[in-house]
Amino acid sequence: MSGEAAGPTVRRLADWSAADLTELADEYGTPLYVTDLDRVRENARRLLDAFPDAAVSYAVKAHTGRAVLATVRDAGLGAECASAGEVVRAIDAGYDAVQYTAVNPPAEDLDIVLDRWRSGVDLTVVAGARDTIDRLRDRGFDGRLALRVNPGVGAGHHEKVTTGGHAKFGVPYDRAPELLAGARADFDVVGIHAHAGSGISGDDLAAHRELVARMGDLAREVGDLEFVDVGGGFGVPYREDEPPLDLDAVADATREALGDVDAQLAVEPGRYLVADAGVLLTRVNTVKPVDGGDTDGTVPVVAGVDAGMTTLLRPAMYDAYHAIRNLTDERPERPVTVAGPVCETSDLFCERRPMPTPRRGDLLAIGNAGAYGYEMASTYNSRPRPAEVVCEASPTPRGAGGERRSPGNRTRSGNGGIDAVRLARERETLAHVTDLEVDR
């Protein structure tokens, strides 16, 4: 991909073609996730350009769809996995080398991952506890091992994703040299790892610098390492007026803070690759006024939609902001609360946000839904999970796991440059939700 245009530094919801999205919703139904693989490629190119001398891996947990994994793999990024399931999905998408960051791993996870290692997968295990190292040793693992360190520094968009300073993650910084020394006799110790949190922005660079500087100090103290992994968490602008992350500035700050080390810098972004590559489409099914109205005389309304917190959890879990656009008609604005069908007060996508007055049947698009959207979807309230389509302007042949053989394949010439669309995940039905139940 060297030399290709990396696209704009941010893709806003307004940049998506309303005509294309409407056609997709009409054909595949709603709720519907739409993922643009070309945008994933552009974001990958931008990361590789900003970190040309680093090992860049994709944090798979942001979006584990096989089409996305194959696209990221073809772009030249590695795979960083947080669970056995993610390891298996990365391998199924064509990866023959993966990094498994084992956070308090259940026994079954360790067994599954080590089975893949024994079958020939090039595996690096990142252990975050002495106990995990012991369990790996007991299972006969003597391969590539890295140590996750808790540097005591955290950053991120919400306290629930600020991992760097929480005791759950990694071994205490001052105990790392002893653990690394003890592990060298039984493992191929290749690196150290830390992660500050998720959604790092320019405001968080001080904490990011401190984390990286501490990791650089540790690398110089322990020596003989292949890499120093400082995680990812690079933020994206969710609000319409929020500036994009200056990735080159982050890269420069990272290299400067790390200093001179005899090891390769490694980063593992997830959200940055896929967030603005995805939108969620949902239809309005209920419109009702709010009693009392606002002080200026405008009557707010609640727009009930067919997506909810089971479809996109981030607003309910993190109070996350997502841009919302009415794709149907331009009408006078009024305060609109967009609410889902789940029986929870937190099942809201926004409250009293100015937008065109909704009507039943309107199609809404929710932006930046590509990261932790489908991944966090659930069947709470016995609601089946949505379908997902992937699209691209200039399809190219894919390797393992990326073949376009779905019955939903089609090509078209859309106003937004989408030429090829395929169904990536079928819509669940109620039968799928109850498939695993056992009659007694």
Structure tokens at 151: 């540097």
Structure tokens at 359: 């009507």
Among candidate residues 370, 273, 369, 368, the one with its CA nearest the CA of residue 51: 273
Structure tokens at 172: 């205490």
**Residue 2: what are its φ and ψ, rounded to 5°?**
-55, 130
Residue 113 DSSP SS3 = helix
**Residue 259: what are its φ and ψ, rounded to 5°?**
75, -165
**Residue 19: what are its φ and ψ, rounded to 5°?**
-65, -45
Tell me how far CA of residue 280 lies from CA of 118, 265, 317, in angstroms: 40, 35, 17
State the Cα–Cα distance between residues 155 and 63, nearest whole angstrom: 22
Catalytic residue among 81, 343, 350, 391: 343
Is residue 276 a contact partner of residue 368, using CB atoms and an 8 Å limit? yes
Is residue 97 a contact partner of residue 76, using CB atoms and an 8 Å limit? no
Among candidate residues 414, 401, 408, 402, the one with its CA nearest the CA of residue 427: 408
**Residue 159: what are its φ and ψ, rounded to 5°?**
-60, -25
Tell me how far CA of residue 314 lies from CA of 37, 144, 157, 161, in angstroms: 22, 35, 12, 12
Is residue 140 a contact partner of residue 115, using CB atoms and an 8 Å limit? no
User: Has 343 been annotated as catalytic?
Assistant: yes
Structure tokens at 156: 């991120």
**DSSP code of residue 409:** -
Query: What is the C-alpha end-to-end distance of the chain, expressed in Å?
Result: 56
Task: Give the other-Cβ count within 10 Å of 247's Cβ.
Answer: 19
Residue 396 DSSP SS3 = coil
Task: Give the other-Cβ count within 10 Å of 179's Cβ.
Answer: 18
State the catalytic residues.
343
